[in-house]
Amino acid sequence: MTNVHEAWVGNLIRHWRDDAGASYRTWFLWEERIKNFRSIRRGIMAVVDEIQADTFGNAYRGSSLETVVHSIAEQRQVFKGADHAFLWKPKLRIPDIYEDRANQVAFGRFLDTCLCCNAEAQVLAAIHALDAARIKGLGPAAANLLYFLHPTWLPPFNTAIVKGYNALTGANVKLGRWDAYLAMRRGIVELNGAHRTLLSNDYGAVAGFLFDVGSGRYPLPERDEEAALARWREDLDLVRAEAAAALPKALAAASEADHTHTEIQGWLRDLGLALGYRVWIASNDGGRPYGTGRLSDGCLQRLPERLTARGSAETVRLIDVIWIDEEGQDVVAAFEVEHTTSIYSGIVRMLDLALGVEGGATRNFFLVAPDNREEDVRAQFARPAFSRVGELDLRYLPYSELRGHRETIARFGTGLKGVLAIARPIVGVR
């Protein structure tokens, strides 16, 4: 943008901030706006949990996703119609996350990665991986979900915002394309940086401004259309080059996440059997290939009745690995493997096991995770939301310790002594 145009945009933003009917005052400064971030995040966690458990279903209506998107659509005018992109359109068979299980899993992995990541580059890599999956009908409208996870990294997306961006910059953003969204994001980041003192680190502000511009609320001056389009093509080319470079790594990371999770479950299965325990593998993982057979080979096909007698049965069945005594009645230890995923759902399952079994259950619970996630694990358990975990003797079991000692424990160990020796108590949880 020229200096003259920059100055004009700055004045327009000032006018927008003072406009009582514009989205800055009616939505961005709305007291309830921030409160909704937490509930929407929890809703996205529920979507991920259901997809992982294969209980998501094949319809939008009545799904956990509908609940989340409905909450977003209620965010006043900026998100009006946010649910349109996710409504099942049977004639077009879009978006194809309701009837195609592989696409559904890819969508769940995308959301889960974005829930857990702590770097902007990880979110962008997740977007590239989702785009590469070519899921029909699932485009940048999903960025509205991501905005409520990372408002300082990703702007919202809808038709009015795109119109506003195109009108203000002379770009040619096309609806429904992730590369166009990411190129628009580059421009939005630049626009926000140039006028940060008038906008916010939260990209909701600049998105609200573009929404009002795109809705025709303010007239715009003429500009050099040819130069503006050239700049837009430059941004689009940069995004496509970045995507081409990032895609192999993103796809490899997604594949490695699945492989490692299954591999760790296999280690725990084999160790449990070697120590003389009966082993349960999560009901949604038992059929996964492992070694020359399936992950559930040699394991229990049904949990003991006393573990499933109460309402938490379905949750308990999803615990990654459970060791049960030789009589097949009492839980000796339970393990949740958290390679890249949020630890929230795993802890809920452990609490259901500990508190929902008649006469109580084991107090030996292990969170098995990569060595570099220890700090994140401990930070999570400092949150008030995990206060009830104090009732569990929860320990952190790093991959490296399990990898290095499992064969020795299997050969010479008795009971849980070896596992307890290599696990680490979580500070403040005793």
Cα–Cα distance between 106 and 126 in angstroms, integer?
A: 10
Cα–Cα distance between 163 and 216 in angstroms, integer?
A: 9
33 contacts 75 by C-beta, under 8 angstroms: yes
pLDDT band with cut points at 50, 70 and 90 for residue 383: low
Length of the chain: 430
Residues 374-400, mean pLDDT to the nearest whole number: 73
List, for residues 20-77, the tens digit of each pLDDT value: 999 999 999 988 888 889 889 989 988 988 887 788 888 888 899 999 999 898 877 7
What's the pTM value of the predicted model, to 2 decimals? 0.65
Residues 187-191, mean pLDDT to the nearest whole number: 95
Cα–Cα distance between 207 and 14 in angstroms, integer?
A: 15
State the Cα torsion 173-135-286-417 to the nearest 10°. Answer: -10
- The CA–CA distances, whole Å, from 253 to 101, 246, 249, 268 equal 20, 11, 6, 22
State both tokens at 315: 């949750």
pLDDT band with cut points at 50, 70 and 90 for residue 310: low
Hey, where are the domains in the chain? 3-223, 255-425
* Average of per-residue pLDDT values in the chain: 84
As a whole-number percent, the residues of the chain with pLDDT over 70 amount to 85
**Amino acid (one-letter) located at 62:** G
- SS3 at position 426: coil
List, for residues 10-20, the tens digit of each pLDDT value: 999 999 999 99
DSSP code for 199: S
